[in-house]
Chain A
C-alpha cells in the first residue's frame, strides 16, 4: 500500500491537506487530478484520505474541487525551534536517507534582498508635463542587435550597414524553456502568443519539434553544450541563435533531462535515443576561452551566412562585467544576463540557493562597464531571472537593459502555482510534464490568450509609467538611471546600482 508510512525513509510532511467532510460530495475529482499520489479514495469507508507526505501544495485539488471542500496548508516545522538549523534538518536527513542531492525547480526561494523593491521611479510634476498614453503615441518598439558607431548620410539617406536585428513590439520575450521540460501544449501557447504580440519565444536547448517550425519569425533557437536537436534547419528557423553558456538557476552546472522525460517525441526533437538521459556537459567542450567563444559565434554566423544576430547567455556571476566585455569583443550581437533568482530550470538545491548574483546588480555593472569602455552600442542587453511584474521591466530598462526575458512569469500566466516540482515530470497543471494524461490539462487556446493578456497589460502599465515620467519612447528610458532612486540601500549598493538615494 503506497500510503503506508515507512519509517525507514520518512521525513515529516511539509503540507497538510484539510478536507471539509460536510462539503465533500465524494466526486473523486481530487483523486483523479492528483499526480503526486497524495489523495486516495477508501471505498469501504466511502471516504477520501490524504497522504500528506506526498503533497507538494500545487493546489490542483483545491482548484478542481466543485464544493471548495479542500484547503492546503503549510505545516511548518514541528521540531523544537532552532534558528540556525530550521529547514536544514529535513534537508540533511533526505541526503542521508536517499543518498542523493536534492534537485529543485522554480528558482532561488531564499530571502535574499530583492533590489527591485528598493528602487523608486520618478514622475513629472509641473515643470515637465506627463503624457497620457491613451491619447498620445507611446513607443515600445525595441530592436536588439549591434548598432552603428556613427551615422553618415549619402544623398540625404543614411549610408550604413546595419547588422541583423530582432524587432520586438514589446521589450519582453519568453525565456529559454525547452520542449521536454515543457509540455507540447505549453510550447504551442508560448509560440502563438509570441507570434500574436510580435515578440519571441526561445526554444531552449532541447531542439524544436517539427510542428513548431510554423512559428518561424518569432523563434529564438538555443545552442547549448549538449547540442541537442541542433542541425541546419533548426539554425535556419531561428530569428536569432542563442549560445547558452550558463543560466541563473544553475550557474556553471550542466543540464540533465532524466530518461523518464525522454519520450518518443522528445527523442525525435532532441535527436537522441528514447529513455536515455539527456546530459548537457557543464561547459561547451569547444569553448574554453573568450577566443573559443568568438570561434563558436562566428561558426554560427558562417553557418547562417551572417543573416541573424547571435545571443550569448550567461548566468550573473561575480566577474560578470569583465565577462560581458569579453563577450562583446568576441562578436556577440546580444548578451543575456540571467540573475540568480531565475530558474524555471531544474537545479541542484545547493547551486540554486547559493550561486550567482542578483540581476539588478549584474545588469547595472555590465551596462556601466560597457559604457565606460565605449562598446555599449556593439551589443544589446537582455536581463532575465526574477522579473515579476511590469515595474521590474521598467526598472530593468532604466538600469540599462534593452529587453527582458520572462520564464516563471509566463508559466504563472498559464496556470503554474510554483510548487517547484518541474523536475519530477508530474506537474499537475500539465505544464512541465510529458504524461499525455496531464499535459492535456493545458489548453493552448486559453493559455496563449492568457499570455497575450499578460503582455498587453504589462505593455499598458509600462506606457502609463513612462507617460508619468514624461517619456514617450522606451529608447529614452534605456539606461536612464536618473529616473531611479534607491531606498533602504547602503551607499555602496547605490554606487553599484548607479542610482541616487531617495530625496537627493
Chain B
C-alpha cells in the first residue's frame, strides 16, 4: 500500500500551486469582493488544460488520473475556492459524464470544446422542488412527434447552477415522459446559444462569490435527439455516477480551503504578539493548530484513498461520500478555528480567512448535503453482509 505521493503528484502539486499563487493569488480577494468571474485567469487555464483534467490527450485533455484531479482542485481552492469550484464542476459533472455516457459522435462534437475550456460546463439537476430528492424534477422534454421524434422541446427552470452565468454547455435533467417517476428523467446536452436557453440573475451568495451561480430558464428550447446523453430514462444513473466523481472534487475543494486556512492561521499565530510573545507560544493556540493539521491530514488520506479506488476501477461511491462528508466538515471547522486564531482580524475582509470561512460552509451543502452523504454511506453499509463497505 503506497501512502506517499509519487513524483508525478508532487510535481503536479508544485505546478498548480505556482500557477494558483502567481495568477489567482493577487486577485482572489478582489474577485470575491466584486463577485467577478476571472476571465483573465480562465484564459490562461484554458491553455494549460485545466478544463480537460482527466480527458484523453488526443481530445486535448491532460490525461490525468483521479488523484491528480483531486490535487489540482485542492491547490486551486487553497488560493481561490470559487475558481476551484468552476474547475471541479466542469470536469466532474459535465465533461466526465459526457465522456462516460456519450456516444462517439457526441464526444467528437462536444468534448474538444469542453477540454479546451472554450465551453464551460454546468450540471443542472436542482430545481425549486428537486435537489436532494432527484425524483422531483419538473423540467419537461417533449418529443416532437410530427418531425419523427428527432427533436425535443424543453421547458423548465433550474436553480443554483454553478458556472451558470458562464456556461457554454449545460447538462439538463428533464422528464421525458409526462407523469412518469424520476426513472424517466433524461439528460440533455444543451449548448447555451440555443434559442430558448436563458441565464437568470447571478445569485448573491455568502461564499464562492467569483463563481456566477445562477438560474437557467428553458423556454421552448429545441434540442435534437442527438443531444440526448445515454438513453431516455438514464437520468438517475448518469446523475448518480457524475455526482460520485463530483464529490471527490468537492472534497478536494474543501480540503484546499482547510489547508489554506491552516497555513494562514500558522502564519498569523507566529506574527501576532500578545503578552509579550507570539500567540503561537500559547498552548491553547498550539492545540488548535495541532487539531487543524491532524484533521486536514486525515481528510487528505480519506480523499486520496477514494480517488485511488476509482483509478483502480473499483467501487468508490461510499468512500467518495465519506471523503466529502469528512472534508467538508473539516473545512468548516478549520476555517472557523482559523478565524478564531485571527481574533478580530479574522472577521475583517482585510484577512483571507474571512473569505475562506464564508466559502467553506457550502461544501456541506452542494453536490449532496452532508445528510445525503450519510444516507449514501449508510445504504452502502447496510447493503453489505457484515456491514463493511466493499473496499475494506
A interacts with B: no
Residue positions of B touching A, CB distance < 8 A: none
